[in-house]
Amino acid sequence: MYQDFSIESEQLALIRGERLLFKQCSFSMKNGQVLQIRGPNGAGKTSLLRVLCGIMEPDQGDVLWCGKSLRKMRESFGANVLYLGHQIGVKRNMTVRENLLFYSNLRQAKPLTTIEEAIQAVGLTGYEDELAAHLSQGQTRRVSLARLLTEPSALWILDEPFVALDVEGQGWLAHLFEQHLAKRGSVIFTSHQSIDLNVKVNTLEVSGGSHA
Protein backbone atom coordinates (compact mmCIF):
# COMPACT_ATOMS: atom_id res chain seq x y z
CA MET A 1 0.00 0.00 0.00
CA TYR A 2 1.41 3.31 -1.01
CA GLN A 3 1.08 6.65 0.68
CA ASP A 4 -1.52 9.09 -0.57
CA PHE A 5 -0.29 11.50 -3.15
CA SER A 6 -1.65 13.79 -5.80
CA ILE A 7 -0.12 15.33 -8.86
CA GLU A 8 -1.72 18.15 -10.77
CA SER A 9 -0.71 20.36 -13.59
CA GLU A 10 -2.13 23.79 -14.11
CA GLN A 11 -2.24 25.25 -17.59
CA LEU A 12 1.16 23.95 -18.56
CA ALA A 13 2.78 25.35 -21.67
CA LEU A 14 6.15 24.55 -23.14
CA ILE A 15 7.91 26.27 -25.99
CA ARG A 16 10.90 24.69 -27.67
CA GLY A 17 12.66 27.04 -30.05
CA GLU A 18 9.93 28.50 -32.21
CA ARG A 19 7.44 25.74 -31.60
CA LEU A 20 4.71 25.64 -29.03
CA LEU A 21 4.72 22.02 -27.91
CA PHE A 22 1.65 22.21 -25.73
CA LYS A 23 -0.40 24.77 -23.89
CA GLN A 24 -3.14 24.76 -21.32
CA CYS A 25 -2.31 21.23 -20.48
CA SER A 26 -4.13 20.46 -17.23
CA PHE A 27 -4.85 17.25 -15.43
CA SER A 28 -4.89 15.87 -11.94
CA MET A 29 -4.24 12.44 -10.63
CA LYS A 30 -4.39 10.52 -7.38
CA ASN A 31 -3.63 7.04 -6.11
CA GLY A 32 -4.83 4.11 -8.18
CA GLN A 33 -5.23 5.80 -11.55
CA VAL A 34 -3.71 5.31 -14.99
CA LEU A 35 -3.10 8.10 -17.43
CA GLN A 36 -2.06 7.44 -20.99
CA ILE A 37 -0.59 10.36 -22.88
CA ARG A 38 -1.22 10.08 -26.60
CA GLY A 39 -0.28 12.18 -29.55
CA PRO A 40 1.52 12.07 -32.86
CA ASN A 41 5.34 11.99 -33.13
CA GLY A 42 6.88 15.27 -32.14
CA ALA A 43 3.79 16.41 -30.27
CA GLY A 44 5.73 16.80 -27.06
CA LYS A 45 4.80 13.69 -25.10
CA THR A 46 8.33 13.08 -23.87
CA SER A 47 8.75 16.76 -23.04
CA LEU A 48 5.52 16.71 -21.08
CA LEU A 49 6.77 13.78 -19.02
CA ARG A 50 10.04 15.59 -18.40
CA VAL A 51 8.11 18.63 -17.22
CA LEU A 52 5.99 16.46 -14.93
CA CYS A 53 9.17 15.02 -13.45
CA GLY A 54 10.61 18.45 -12.77
CA ILE A 55 13.56 17.86 -15.10
CA MET A 56 12.36 20.58 -17.44
CA GLU A 57 10.76 23.84 -16.40
CA PRO A 58 7.48 24.70 -18.13
CA ASP A 59 7.25 28.11 -19.79
CA GLN A 60 3.88 28.63 -18.18
CA GLY A 61 1.98 26.98 -15.40
CA ASP A 62 3.25 24.69 -12.69
CA VAL A 63 3.24 21.09 -11.60
CA LEU A 64 1.87 20.53 -8.12
CA TRP A 65 2.88 17.55 -6.03
CA CYS A 66 0.56 16.99 -3.05
CA GLY A 67 -0.73 20.52 -3.50
CA LYS A 68 2.66 22.23 -3.46
CA SER A 69 4.93 23.32 -6.27
CA LEU A 70 7.20 20.51 -7.43
CA ARG A 71 10.28 22.69 -7.02
CA LYS A 72 9.74 22.75 -3.26
CA MET A 73 8.89 19.09 -2.99
CA ARG A 74 11.81 17.46 -4.79
CA GLU A 75 12.69 15.14 -1.94
CA SER A 76 9.23 13.69 -1.41
CA PHE A 77 8.71 13.56 -5.17
CA GLY A 78 11.98 11.69 -5.75
CA ALA A 79 11.14 9.16 -3.06
CA ASN A 80 7.69 8.38 -4.48
CA VAL A 81 8.18 8.60 -8.22
CA LEU A 82 10.03 6.37 -10.62
CA TYR A 83 10.67 7.87 -14.04
CA LEU A 84 11.92 5.74 -16.89
CA GLY A 85 12.62 7.97 -19.84
CA HIS A 86 13.61 7.52 -23.40
CA GLN A 87 17.20 7.01 -22.37
CA ILE A 88 16.80 4.49 -19.65
CA GLY A 89 20.06 4.95 -17.80
CA VAL A 90 21.21 1.33 -17.97
CA LYS A 91 25.00 1.39 -17.98
CA ARG A 92 26.52 -0.71 -20.75
CA ASN A 93 29.65 -1.35 -18.72
CA MET A 94 27.84 -2.66 -15.69
CA THR A 95 26.19 -6.04 -15.28
CA VAL A 96 22.44 -6.44 -14.96
CA ARG A 97 22.75 -7.01 -11.24
CA GLU A 98 25.09 -4.04 -10.70
CA ASN A 99 22.74 -1.72 -12.58
CA LEU A 100 19.78 -2.66 -10.41
CA LEU A 101 21.80 -2.69 -7.21
CA PHE A 102 23.16 0.80 -7.83
CA TYR A 103 19.77 2.44 -8.29
CA SER A 104 18.18 0.62 -5.38
CA ASN A 105 21.10 1.63 -3.15
CA LEU A 106 20.63 5.25 -4.17
CA ARG A 107 17.03 5.22 -3.07
CA GLN A 108 17.77 3.56 0.24
CA ALA A 109 14.22 2.22 0.26
CA LYS A 110 13.32 -1.27 1.39
CA PRO A 111 12.66 -3.26 -1.77
CA LEU A 112 9.56 -5.43 -1.92
CA THR A 113 11.35 -7.89 -4.14
CA THR A 114 15.01 -8.78 -4.09
CA ILE A 115 17.13 -8.08 -7.12
CA GLU A 116 17.30 -11.80 -7.94
CA GLU A 117 13.51 -12.06 -7.91
CA ALA A 118 13.15 -8.98 -10.07
CA ILE A 119 15.64 -10.30 -12.63
CA GLN A 120 13.69 -13.53 -12.72
CA ALA A 121 10.38 -11.69 -13.08
CA VAL A 122 11.58 -9.78 -16.15
CA GLY A 123 12.84 -13.00 -17.68
CA LEU A 124 16.57 -12.34 -17.50
CA THR A 125 17.54 -15.33 -15.39
CA GLY A 126 21.03 -16.39 -16.35
CA TYR A 127 21.98 -12.87 -17.43
CA GLU A 128 22.59 -11.53 -13.91
CA ASP A 129 26.32 -11.13 -14.38
CA GLU A 130 26.26 -10.27 -18.06
CA LEU A 131 27.32 -6.75 -19.03
CA ALA A 132 24.36 -4.74 -20.27
CA ALA A 133 26.36 -4.05 -23.44
CA HIS A 134 25.87 -7.69 -24.41
CA LEU A 135 22.08 -7.56 -24.12
CA SER A 136 19.60 -6.89 -26.90
CA GLN A 137 17.52 -3.73 -26.93
CA GLY A 138 14.47 -5.52 -25.57
CA GLN A 139 16.51 -7.10 -22.81
CA THR A 140 18.03 -3.74 -21.86
CA ARG A 141 14.51 -2.39 -21.64
CA ARG A 142 13.64 -5.27 -19.35
CA VAL A 143 16.54 -4.37 -17.08
CA SER A 144 15.13 -0.90 -16.64
CA LEU A 145 11.64 -2.31 -16.06
CA ALA A 146 13.02 -4.53 -13.31
CA ARG A 147 13.54 -1.30 -11.38
CA LEU A 148 9.77 -1.01 -11.07
CA LEU A 149 10.01 -4.04 -8.79
CA THR A 150 13.17 -3.25 -6.87
CA GLU A 151 12.36 0.39 -6.18
CA PRO A 152 8.83 0.62 -4.78
CA SER A 153 7.37 3.97 -5.83
CA ALA A 154 3.77 5.11 -5.79
CA LEU A 155 3.83 6.84 -9.16
CA TRP A 156 5.44 5.43 -12.26
CA ILE A 157 6.13 7.83 -15.09
CA LEU A 158 7.08 5.78 -18.11
CA ASP A 159 8.05 6.97 -21.56
CA GLU A 160 7.04 4.40 -24.19
CA PRO A 161 7.45 1.45 -21.84
CA PHE A 162 6.03 -1.04 -24.38
CA VAL A 163 8.55 -0.21 -27.07
CA ALA A 164 11.10 -2.95 -27.83
CA LEU A 165 9.21 -5.51 -25.74
CA ASP A 166 7.95 -8.72 -27.29
CA VAL A 167 4.27 -9.72 -27.03
CA GLU A 168 4.88 -11.72 -23.91
CA GLY A 169 6.74 -8.82 -22.33
CA GLN A 170 3.94 -6.39 -23.15
CA GLY A 171 1.42 -8.72 -21.50
CA TRP A 172 3.65 -9.02 -18.47
CA LEU A 173 3.98 -5.23 -18.19
CA ALA A 174 0.23 -4.70 -18.49
CA HIS A 175 -0.24 -7.25 -15.73
CA LEU A 176 2.36 -5.41 -13.64
CA PHE A 177 0.37 -2.19 -14.11
CA GLU A 178 -2.74 -3.91 -12.76
CA GLN A 179 -0.88 -5.23 -9.72
CA HIS A 180 0.54 -1.76 -9.11
CA LEU A 181 -2.92 -0.18 -9.29
CA ALA A 182 -4.31 -2.76 -6.89
CA LYS A 183 -1.73 -1.52 -4.37
CA ARG A 184 -3.01 2.04 -4.89
CA GLY A 185 -0.12 2.96 -7.14
CA SER A 186 -0.53 5.08 -10.27
CA VAL A 187 0.96 5.07 -13.73
CA ILE A 188 1.48 7.83 -16.26
CA PHE A 189 2.77 6.52 -19.57
CA THR A 190 3.04 7.43 -23.21
CA SER A 191 2.20 4.94 -25.89
CA HIS A 192 0.79 4.82 -29.38
CA GLN A 193 -0.92 1.53 -28.94
CA SER A 194 -4.04 0.93 -26.88
CA ILE A 195 -3.31 -1.16 -23.86
CA ASP A 196 -5.78 -3.70 -22.52
CA LEU A 197 -6.13 -3.17 -18.82
CA ASN A 198 -9.05 -4.26 -16.70
CA VAL A 199 -9.21 -0.79 -15.20
CA LYS A 200 -10.22 2.53 -16.65
CA VAL A 201 -7.40 4.27 -18.54
CA ASN A 202 -7.67 8.04 -18.68
CA THR A 203 -6.16 9.58 -21.75
CA LEU A 204 -4.61 12.94 -22.35
CA GLU A 205 -4.15 14.07 -25.94
CA VAL A 206 -1.14 16.18 -26.75
CA SER A 207 -1.56 17.77 -30.14
CA GLY A 208 1.26 20.30 -30.13
CA GLY A 209 3.42 21.32 -33.02
CA SER A 210 1.92 24.75 -33.69
CA HIS A 211 4.07 27.81 -34.07
CA ALA A 212 4.36 30.05 -31.07
Partner 1 sequence: MLRVLVGREIKLVFRRKSEILNPLFFFLIVTSLFPFGISPEPSVLGLLAPGVIWVCALLALLLSVDALYREDFDDGSLVQMVMSGVSPASIVFAKAITNWLVTGLPLILLSPLLGVMLNLDNDAFGAMVVSLLLGTPSMCLIAAIGMSLTIGLRRGGILLSLLVLPLYIPILIFGAMAVNAATVGQEFVGQLALLGAGLAFTASLAPWAAGAALRVSLSE
Binding site for partner 1 (CB under 8 A): 50, 53, 55-57, 74-75, 78-79, 81-83, 85-94, 98, 102-103, 105-108, 151
The letter for the amino acid at 144 is S
Q: Shortest gap between Cβ of 88 and partner 1 (angstroms)?
A: 6
Specify which residues 158 forms β-bridges with.
Answer: 84, 189
Helix (H, G, I), strand (E, B) or coil at 202: strand
> What is the closest distance, in whole angstroms, from the C-beta atom of residue 113 to partner 1 in the complex?
18
Q: Toward partner 1, which CB reaches closer, 56 or 64? A: 56
Measured over all CA atoms, what is the biggest interatomic distance in the chain, rounded to whole angstroms?
51
The candidate with the shortest Cα–Cα distance to 36, out of 128, 151, 160, 126, is: 160
Residue nearer to partner 1 on the CB measure, 129 or 196: 129
41 vs 87, beta carbon nearer partner 1: 87
Phi, psi dihedral angles at 128 (to 5 degrees): -50, -45
Picking from 20, 23, 1, 80, the residue whose alpha carbon sits closest to that of residue 9 is: 23
Residue 48 beta carbon to partner 1: minimum distance, rounded to whole angstroms:
14
Minimum distance, C-beta of residue 133 to partner 1, in the bound complex (Å): 10
* Residue 106: CB minimum distance to partner 1, A: 4
Q: Which is nearer to partner 1, 81 or 187 (CB)?
A: 81
Contact residues for 14 (Cβ-Cβ < 8 A; gap 6+)? 20, 21, 22, 23, 44, 47, 48, 51, 56, 58, 59
For partner 1, the closer of residues 2 and 207 by Cβ is 2
Task: Pick the closest to residue 42 from 13, 16, 63 (CA basis).
Answer: 16
